[in-house]
Chains A and B, each alone.
Chain A
Amino acid sequence: MLSIKEINELIEKIDQSSIDEFSYESNGDKVTLKKNTEVHYTPKESAPAHPNQEIVKTNSNQTAEINNEEAQEQVDTTTNSPTYDYEIVSPMVGTFYSSPSPDKPAYVNQGDKVSESTIVCIVEAMKLFNEIEAEINGEITEVLAENGELVEYGQPLFRVKKV
């Protein structure tokens, strides 16, 4: 993986060169540098982007396009300390429920350890209640959806760091 220093050097080099676009890929992490493009996040698949999305790095094929001027800030949050390496996504459109019923505590919270079969939430559509399992052993580093929120197919719900 590239360090921030290396990326900064790259940006400088590319800035001064005639190269318009530069991509680097390693272990599923991908950094693309482009001249004169705006910063935006574009998932390759048609899954709708999460509003709070600022991922440059995931274990899927997502690409972040980084403007050479704003690259540092973006890269900072990601390559420096990868806080997760797996995202639990919603298998369907529906309402996200963090607990089995309103008066019960949440299935999981940030910092909780989960195993593959741990139920992390429910997604409900048309009164069909889908219990979502973690499918990975790890620790929840971030809860991305709010109780009662409408989530889309493929939308990331939790971030997990493998243990």
Chain B
Amino acid sequence: MKKNKERLISLLASSKNAYISGENLSEELQVTRTSIWKYIKELKEEGYEIEAIRKKGYMLKQIPLHLSESVLKWDLKTAFIGQNIIYRPVLSSTQDMAHELARSGCEAGTLVIADKQTSGRGRLNREWESNHSGGIWMSLVLRPEIAPNNAPQLTLLSAVAVSNAIEKLLAIDVQIKWPNDIFLHNKKLAGILTEMQAEVDKINYLVIGIGINVNQQIEVFGEELQSKVISLKELLDQEIDRKTFIHCILEEFELLYNDYLENGFKPIQKSWVDKAYKIGEEISLKTPKKNFKAIFEGIEHDGSLLVENSNGDIEKIYSAEIDW
């Protein structure tokens, strides 16, 4: 059923500005013309604009601007990232659903996406404001065959993928705040949360959550956040087609991910450093052992932060609260 509808969309989409007869469609899909008529009706209800003219056939005028599984899948040029998509208008948290799916054995590359999250979360269950539409809230399940110790590199990789997509699609230069926030004009544009289930020598699965402020007005955020966040719409004064943007991210991600599995972290490291927020500047760090100020020097080959402390020594930081 579902497969047929997807094939119908791609058939209609492949014949740009030309009509395809119901007869051709029913032959191609091996279903009756009544079924074609039913599918077309359903697609229209989902927001596709399809023109039907007697004796000529059907023509796809416009795919819907709102998201749906078929819209998201259509024309996605990846081998596996996002090929299994679960879309819901509202979810408590895409991250939680992705965890559930991963635990029950979903395939690698599965993507969960929602228009709104009623309890979106950041790290340590901090609230991630996303109970409004317009943003991109999605979680990706991966099962990489790498050592769990190397998994944090994928957080940095995700940040590079999102930044690359923004640069390619919108020609905006963004910065990455170590290890994983996307910054624009000193304000937060996107956040990435990576969670993992692993044993000492094996990753069971990884869930990469990506939240991006896209078409929201800043007013939808709570007062204390308004001075700290930015959305693409605010910046560009135009609506962004989220589907195209999501595709761009997924395609960019797959490219980097395959490169990483084959060639390691080095190429990613270089791209990351090129976009590093406040590199060479002084930052304040708070670790379980001490609080100190240091110069942000760069990142190590494993993705950890390199800082030069006041004694001139280079320290490697895996985990810290940082005051940027």
Contacts and interface: CB of A to CB of B under 8 A. Distances in A.
A94 B124 contact: no
Nearest to A153: B149
A127 B194 contact: yes
B307 interface: no
A147 to B, nearest CB: 9
| Size bracket, chain A contacts | 20 to 34
Nearest to A97: B124
B211 interface: no
A163 interface: no
Interface residues of B, number: 32
Nearest to A131: B197
B125 A128 contact: no
Contacts, number: 87
Contact of B180 (A92, A127, A133, A154): A127
Given A127-B155, A127-B179, A148-B288, A101 B197 contact: no
B198 interface: yes
Interface in A78-124: 89, 91-95, 97, 100-102, 104, 124
B148 A126 contact: no
A125 B195 contact: no
Given A128-B152, A128-B194, 11 more contacts: A91-B148, A91-B149, A92-B151, A94-B319, A95-B288, A100-B124, A101-B124, A126-B178, A127-B123, A127-B179, A130-B197
14 contacts: A91-B199, A91-B201, A92-B151, A93-B149, A101-B124, A124-B319, A125-B318, A126-B155, A126-B305, A127-B155, A128-B195, A129-B196, A132-B198, A150-B287
The 9 closest A-B pairs by CB, nearest first: A101-B125, A126-B152, A95-B319, A91-B148, A128-B152, A126-B179, A128-B194, A92-B149, A125-B318
Interface of A: 89, 91-95, 97, 100-102, 104, 124-133, 135, 148-150, 153-154
